[in-house]
């Protein structure tokens, strides 16, 4: 049974984002474009509602995916990579279950999906943070930087 199949409490909209993430995970260029869009949106909404509460985890998630797709960090299992990309896909989609144009409410579903993904891969995030703290190669080297204050 796959990691995602163990979670029957998936938020609405997760499955569609997951199908797209499965396709993206094999395409590092397309995933890099997704990460750039996600970083831009994260910077815009970093102080909005629930996003404030998991800013550190969100930026770690973005660094983790970038490091994995670039080959600098190889410890992230494929399943966890797809789950991480699922959260990012949902986060950048402006027309998800609650469209982002609805002030404040538009980010509630983004936060729910991201929180779900962050819980699902919490161990992987912790291992990645330890790798970074131990001097792992910076994940953003040679790529657009993360938003200011994301480290």
- pLDDT tens column, 55-87: 788 889 999 999 999 999 999 999 999 999 999
For 110, which DSSP code?
H
113 or 58: whose pLDDT is higher? 58
pTM of the model: 0.76
With tokens 């997951």, the residue in question is 18
Q: Is 87 exposed, middle or buried (0-12, 13-18, 19+ CB in 10 A)?
A: buried
Cα–Cα distance between 39 and 32 in angstroms, integer?
10
Task: Give me the pLDDT at residue 137, please.
Answer: 66
Under the banding of pLDDT at 50, 70 and 90, the label for residue 114 is confident
Rounded Cα distance between 84 and 24, Å, is 11
Helix/strand number for the chain, H first, E second:
6, 0
Cα angle 55, 47, 138 (rounded to 5 degrees) comes to 35
Contact in structure between 69 and 31 (CB atoms under 8 Å)? yes
End-to-end C-alpha distance for the chain, whole angstroms: 35
Higher-scoring residue by pLDDT: 110, 32: 32
**pLDDT for position 1:** 36
pLDDT value at residue 151:
42
pLDDT tens figures, 133-145: 998 865 443 344 4
The Cα 46–Cα 51 span in angstroms is 6
pLDDT in tens, 9-52: 776 677 888 899 999 999 999 999 999 999 888 887 766 665 56
CA angle (68 as vertex; 76, 26 as ends), nearest 5: 100
Q: What pLDDT, on a 0 to 100 scale, did the predictor assign at position 79?
A: 95
Range with the poorest average pLDDT among 49-63, 90-104, 119-133:
90-104
- Rg for the chain (alpha carbons), in Å? 14
Q: Where are the domains of the chain?
A: 13-133
């Amino acid at each position: 049974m796959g990691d995602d199949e163990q979670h029957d409490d998936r938020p609405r909209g997760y499955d569609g984002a997951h199908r797209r993430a499965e396709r993206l995970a094999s395409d590092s260029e397309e995933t890099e474009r997704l990460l750039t869009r996600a970083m831009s949106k994260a910077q815009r909404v970093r102080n909005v509602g629930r996003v404030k509460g998991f800013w550190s985890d969100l930026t770690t998630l973005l660094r983790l995916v970038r490091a994995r797709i670039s080959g600098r960090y190889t410890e992230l299992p494929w399943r966890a990579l797809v789950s991480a990309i699922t959260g990012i896909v949902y986060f950048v989609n402006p027309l998800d279950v609650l469209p982002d144009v609805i002030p404040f409410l538009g980010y509630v579903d983004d936060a729910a999906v991201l929180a779900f993904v962050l819980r699902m891969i919490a161990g992987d995030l912790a291992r990645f943070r330890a790798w970074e703290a131990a001097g792992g190669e910076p994940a953003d080297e040679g790529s657009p930087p993360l938003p200011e204050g994301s480290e």
